[in-house]
Structure 1
Amino acid sequence: MTQRAWRTVLEHIERDLIEGRLGPGDRLPSERDLSADLGVGRSSVREALRVLEVMGLIRTATGSGPQAGAIVIATPSGGMQALLRLQVAAQGFPLADVVQTRLVLESAVAQALAADGERDLSAAHRILDAMDVPHLTAPEFLALDAQLHLALAEASGNSVIAATMAGLRSAIESYVLEGSARIDDWSAMAERLRAEHRQLVTAIDAGDAASADALVRTHITGYYTAAGLVPDARTVLTD
């Protein structure tokens, strides 16, 4: 299964949701039909549906009958909808620009969330739990990773930041997936990322803005550096 194959399915369904061809209560085509229509394997269709379910956009059920299959339960809203089309253009953005933008935006998100006594991190916690599922492949894990960062941006309530993060999602996923192939022990890296995500969300939950800021910066720069995508991502802001 290639990254491009399941991304094709994901973006096809997202586009139908945004443009109104699909809405809450509608049933998605079957795995077989999506596979044939889009020219991808059924494993790629299942991966895309899995990500959409974690995003809270669809519900899937096995078996037969009116409740079986994948049903739309929500549509993309806020920032995700506003600039989702940036995903295509974002594929060509220079890596250093993506890292720098992430540091600026996600630092602001972490601090704003920590300072907000009415923050709702339920979506972030749901994705954290999904990332704990055993035997996730690198593409599966990193798709959830990107969605976690987007969920935090959306929880901040800043629609411009959320929209920008949504538009950058494909670029982020493509770069981090490229880096995963350079990591000798992916299992160890995945455990490290899980721990860093938990520490970040814990700091936000505790209202510790300084720690949340430091943790998100270390998390982002640490991965790009460990994956050999840049010599030392910590220098990006000062280059």
Structure 2
Amino acid sequence: MRTHQLVLTWIENELSAGRLMVGGRLPAERSLAEQLAVSRTSVREAIRILEAMGVVRAGVGSGPEAGTVVIADPTAALGSALRLHVATQHLPVKDIVETRVLLESWAVSQASPDAPGLRNAAALLAGMDEPGLSVDEFLALDVQFHLALADAAGNAVVSAMMGSLRESIQGYAGRLTANLPDWAATASRLMAEHHQILDAITAHDGGRAAKLVAAHIEGYYQEAGLGPSA
């Protein structure tokens, strides 16, 4: 085992055992290196890996922000990894869209009509109804709307995966707008579908909401040229 992996394994064991928790700090670099009998370079490498994975935040200097703090931000790391693999074309965008349909359909079918996320979704829809939004502004609100729907299911893993999937294809979805014959007409249709999805959830009709969200997502990509043969 490479020495930085020893550090990663130790931190994982500390987290699993509850001796290290979100908000807690790792031992100082020198102390951890001495404790595990590894070099400080190995400790730094392990911390860089964990920071990229969204597990820790490394601060420098002194004061309350100094030191390496355990955080919980899986979405950023998963989204970054997916974006890179999409860029290599190892993970086709079409497959990621299909996975998103599966996850989001399940999420809206399980969403609680009383979930706080749905109040947030309604507020986001109100913002999207404002006239004069640019394409980028509309798509940014669209991302937040769909994440709010996923959060309403109350499943932390699905929320994290949905966030990473949306992050990995958000830029691609924006570029696809160039393929649309009439963005204003598409935006109007998407808004109407958003309202229908939210209405189905609040009416306790998860089955209908799931069908609506699947047709909503697939319809946009097919209209933009990402059909089965694309």
The structure 1 segments of at least 4 consecutive aligned residues displaced by more than 6 Å after TM superposition are: none
Q: In the alignment, what sits opposite 1:102?
A: 100
2:210 aligns with: 213
| 1:20 CA displacement | 8.5
Distance 1:19 1:130, change over 3 A: farther
Counterpart of 1:25 in structure 2 is none
Aligned position for 1:86: 78
- Alignment check: 8 A CA contact 1:221 1:232 kept: no
Residue 115 of structure 2: aligned partner: 119
1:110-189 pair list within 5 angstroms = 110-113=108-111, 116=112, 118-120=114-116, 121-189=118-186
Amino acid at match of 1:157: G
2 CA distance for matches of 1:189 and 1:217? 16
Q: What code does the residue aligned with 1:148 have?
A: F
Larger radius of gyration: 2
Q: Mind listing any 5+ residue stretches in structure 2 that lack a counterpart?
A: 1-52, 60-70
Query: Kindly tell me: are residues 232 and 207 of structure 1, through their superposed partners in 2, closer, same or farther at Cα, counting changes over 3 Å?
Result: farther
CA deviation string 1:7-32 (max 9, x = no partner): xxxxxxxx99x8487xxxxxxxxxxx
CA contact (8 A) 2:147 2:162 kept: yes
Distance 1:155 1:204, change over 3 A: same
Distance 1:232 1:196, change over 3 A: farther
Distance in 2 between residues matched to 1:98 and 1:152, nearest whole Å: 18
Change (3 A) 1:232 1:122: farther
Rounded Cα–Cα distance in structure 2 between residues aligned with 1:171 and 1:181: 19
- The separation in 2 between residues aligned to 1:232 and 1:140, in whole angstroms, is 30
Instruction: Tell me the distance in 1 between the aligned counterparts of 2:114 and 2:166.
Output: 26
TM-score under structure 2 length normalisation: 0.63
Stretches of structure 1 that go unaligned for 5 or more consecutive residues are 1-14, 22-76, 234-239
Q: TM-score, normalised by structure 1?
A: 0.61
Q: In the aligned structure 1, how far is the partner of 2:163 from the partner of 2:207?
A: 25
Return the alpha-carbon distance in structure 1 between the equivalents of residues 167 and 160 of structure 2: 13
CA distance in 1, matches of 2:212, 2:229: 17
* Percent of aligned positions that are identical: 42
CA offset at residue 203 of structure 1? 0.4
